[in-house]
Amino acid sequence: MWSRLVSLGLRAPVGGRQGFTSKVDPQGSSRITAQVIEHLERLALVDFGSREAVARLEKAIAFADRLRAVDTDGVEPMESVLEDRCLYLRSDNVVEGNCADELLQNSHRVVEEYFVAPPGNISLPKLDEQEPFPHS
Amino acid sequence: QSGSSLRIVSAALKQGQITPTELCQKCLSLIKKTKFLNAYITVSEEVALKQAEESEKRYKNGQSLGDLDGIPVAVKDNFSTSGIETTCASNMLKGYIPPYNATVVQKLLDQGALLMGKTNLDEFAMGSGSTDGVFGPVKNPWSYSKQYREKRKQNPHSKNEDSDWLITGGSSGGSAAAVSAFTCYAALGSDTGGSTRNPAAHCGLVGFKPSYGLVSRHGLIPLVNSMDVPGILTRCVDDAAIVLGALAGPDPKDSTTVHDPINKPFMLPSLADVSKLCIGIPKEYLVPELSSEVQSLWSKAADLFESEGAKVLEVSLPHTSYSIVCYHVLCTSEVASNMARFDGLQYGHRCDIDVSTEAMYAATRREGFNDVVRGRILSGNFFLLKENYENYFVKAQKVRRLIANDFVNAFNSGVDVLLTPTTLSEAVPYLEFIKEDNRTRSAQDDIFTQAVNMAGLPAVSIPVALSNQGLPIGLQFIGRAFCDQQLLTVAKWFEKQVQFPGIQLQELTDDCSAVLENEKLASVSLKQ
């Protein structure tokens, strides 16, 4: 049953990440271009790592596309099943905290009471500057 | 007959027939004997023994805290436990020691329960087999049961005894195996799409999913904030009610818990008759993939209610076929958001790269997450892209409303409780399960369970009978929102009718499990 989800004609050609441009889906919906891959990897800060992973995403999208068949005219999106209740708010009093030591213990790199991070504002190298799929 | 229950052993503790320390030792011993099941990631032996000691003092002074005092319990490893490693079966959290207890854990401890350990799961609770965690898969105790083994000997194809072991289902498989193998009396699982009910069905247990908002999620490492709930696994319905009584209630630390007054404690009445009850059978749940055995049991169960005077109606949940797709989109989207907190900076795994924060985050996450988790993060991020947001995420939210409305309409037509299968079939062998990937399996296995999470309703899986292969099959009851007590009352009646046979773990039977299984606890334990 699930074999129907294997995207038709969206298989990536061999050799290098640039080769991930897929043919246009006949429904004109999702296409996994190299740009989309790069974009997702930056947003998620998780890499695909292999062609299989891209294929899995394509299957996931094709699966999700089945929602198009549902008529949702006039239907409001549902954010929470508790939408018709008032949110309970606590009084704005500090009742706990002061546990800096405990929290710092879980970090790999601390200096005094600081978590240490590498320098920021340096973007990841662009796709063509990277090696293709170190883990495939 | 169905193994020693919490209620029975609690009475034994109160009467001094057994001490908390003895009980704790027996369970610890069973944990060691059943290590091959891989149900536990961490066994908190010292903690449990210390708690047992304190419980013993309380019993001596006649100051027991209640039904849970001195009772061994286990907790799924995605609940934060202060001072005890909490890993979510992921490299990302290996070695992570939370500085606080999840509210539900704290509540159990406040009632005097003994924490035996943290149980195994699919990584970050993503999966339906408990096969995809970094500590390896969990084995279903029924693989080693007399009932299953005897059937297999009749099968000329049965090979090497252990290569054909069965999965527990998931993602709370470790908790299910722990309870099923008598290493504890109750275990906490989590339920986002069926993760408590699915392994309950495969392991012959009661798997209860409370209404969303009834039980606090504070400290439960979140998967899908709008659907997650803590789940309860026990060997009988009364036991689940006892645990629920301890856990239910508002929590100022979880703003999604409701503050309505709830009937506490959850004392379940014994239904004298079901003639005032109306049972709904959703017709769309009769899918071609449903095994004939499960279908037959489902049908027999409906007949049973009818023959005992209940009204049994066919109802329609028209959007059922879109439910799993909708769940897939919403789940991956929320996961993408929730997993963003794992960056290696304040807790959890951190890689060695120090070039930039982005490079560090990316490498940390590549090293810390398995393929399943990464796949869901990427899918979720795709659905949340600006150009996709309306067509996928918001669309799914709209479909969610339609699904929730389907249930409302069914209940409004006079139905009190819905009766459905829990799983498509009995537990399958691991080697067969892994032939399909995690997402495919989850989509198949969650089919009867995930719509309940989208609607936030209470549901419970009850073990009904053994299959032709000697394996448990469960059926699911679904109730109205916040009518958890009524749901469990109906489930309890049904449990009594079906008299599900307990697991016979002959290989493990020795003085330990014999004591635990025997209702006459007093006479046997005193002979030791």
**Which of A53, A69, A118 lies nearest to residue B360, judging by beta carbons?**
A118
For residue A12, is pLDDT > 60? no
Reported ipTM: the value is: 0.87
Rounded Cα–Cα distance for residues B126 and B438 (Å) = 8
The answer as to whether B371 is a domain residue is no
Which strands make up the sheet holding B311-315, listed edge to edge? B40-43, B114-119, B72-76, B186-191, B229-234, B206-209, B459-466, B472-479, B417-421, B278-282, B311-315
Q: How far is B357 from chain A (nearest CA, A)?
A: 5
- pLDDT of amino acid A127: 45
Q: Which pair of structure tokens corresponds to residue B519?
A: 């209702």
> Does residue A18 have a pLDDT over 60?
no
pLDDT at B260: 81
**Closest C-alpha to B414, from B523, B217, B277:** B277
Say yes or no to pLDDT of A37 above 90: yes
Rg (CA), chain B: 22
A58 lies in some domain: yes
Written as one string, the DSSP assignment of B112-166 is: T-EEEEEE--SGGG--SSS--STT-PPBPGGGG-HHHHHHHHTSTT--STTTTPB
Interface test with A, best of B100, B334, B356, B391 (most A CBs within 10 A): B356
Mutation site, A108, A126, A133, A135, interface B, largest B CB count within 10 A: A108
**How many Å apart are CA B201 and CA B294, to the nearest integer?**
11
- Cα of B421 to nearest chain A Cα, Å: 21
Query: Are the C-beta atoms of B421 and B478 separated by less than 8 Å?
Result: no
Mean pLDDT confidence for A102-107: 93
3-state helix, strand, coil in chain A (%, to 5): 35, 5, 65
Residue A89: closest C-alpha in chain B:
B255
Query: What are B462's strand-pairing partners?
Result: B475
Give A76-86 pLDDT, tens digit per residue: 999 999 999 98
B218: left (phi over 0), alpha (psi -120 to 50) or beta: beta
| Token pair recorded at residue A5 | 């989800």
**Residue B79, CB half-sphere, CA atoms under 13 Å: how many?**
33
Is residue B220 within 8 A of residue B79, CB to CB? The reply is yes
- Residue B461, classed as helix, strand or coil, is strand
| Contact partners, residue A10, CB within 8 Å, separation at least 6 | A22, A23, A25, A31, A32, A58
Quickly list H helices, B188-340.
Answer: 197-202, 237-247, 292-307, 320-338
pLDDT at B511: 41
A38 part of a folded domain: yes
How far is residue B78's CA from residue B378's CA, in Å, rounded to a whole number?
A: 22
Residue B90 DSSP symbol? S
Helix (H) or strand (E) holding A41: helix A34-44
With beta carbons less than 8 A apart as the criterion, state whether B209 and B142 touch.
no
C-alpha–C-alpha distance, residues B231 and B78, integer Å: 12
Looking at the DSSP assignment, which residues form a beta bridge with residue B417? Answer: B279, B479
Nearest to B133 by CA among B148, B119, B117, B115: B119
Cα A64 vs. chain centroid, distance in angstroms?
Answer: 15
Distance of alpha carbon B56 from alpha carbon B65, whole angstroms: 11
Closest residue in A to B340 (Cα–Cα)? A44
Residue B205 sits in a domain of what CATH number?
A: 3.90.1300.10
The count of domains in chain B is 1
Shortest alpha-carbon distance between residue B263 and chain A (Å):
19
| Among B509, B503, B491, B428, residue whose Cα is nearest residue B466 | B503
**A70 → closest Cβ in B322, B394, B437:** B322
Is A124 within 8 Å of B358 when comparing Cβ atoms?
A: yes
Query: Phi/psi of residue B419, each to 5°?
Result: -120, 120
Q: How many domains does chain A have?
A: 1
Share of chain A above pLDDT 90, in %: 49
pTM for this model (two decimals): 0.90
Burial of A8 (0-12, 13-18, 19+ CB in 10 A): exposed
For residue B442, the model assigns a pLDDT of: 83
Q: Is the pLDDT of residue A13 over 70?
A: no
| pLDDT recorded at residue B322 | 95
Largest Cα–Cα distance in chain A?
60
Give catalytic residues of B, as residue numbers.
76, 171, 195
- The reported pLDDT for the residue numbered B265 is 56
Please tell me the predicted confidence (pLDDT) of residue B527.
34
| Residue B101 domain boundaries | 14-324+395-506
- Cβ atoms within 10 Å of B82's Cβ, excluding its own: 16
Contacts of B344 in chain A (CB under 8 A): 108
- The pLDDT assigned to B507 comes to 61
A82–B440 CB contact, under 8 Å: no
Look up residue B418 and give its DSSP letter.
E
Q: Is residue A60 part of a domain?
A: yes
A78–B347: do the CB atoms touch at under 8 Å? no
How many CB pairs (< 8 A) connect A and B?
184
Task: Specify the pairing of strand B417-421 against strand B278-282.
Answer: parallel
Tokens of B450: 């995930």
- One-letter amino acid at A23 equals K
Q: Which range of residues forms the domain containing residue A40?
A: 28-72
**Mean pLDDT per 10-residue segment, chain B (528 residues):** 74 93 96 97 98 97 95 98 97 95 98 98 95 96 94 64 87 97 97 97 98 97 97 97 96 92 72 92 96 97 97 96 95 96 94 90 93 95 97 98 98 97 96 88 89 97 97 98 95 96 74 42 36
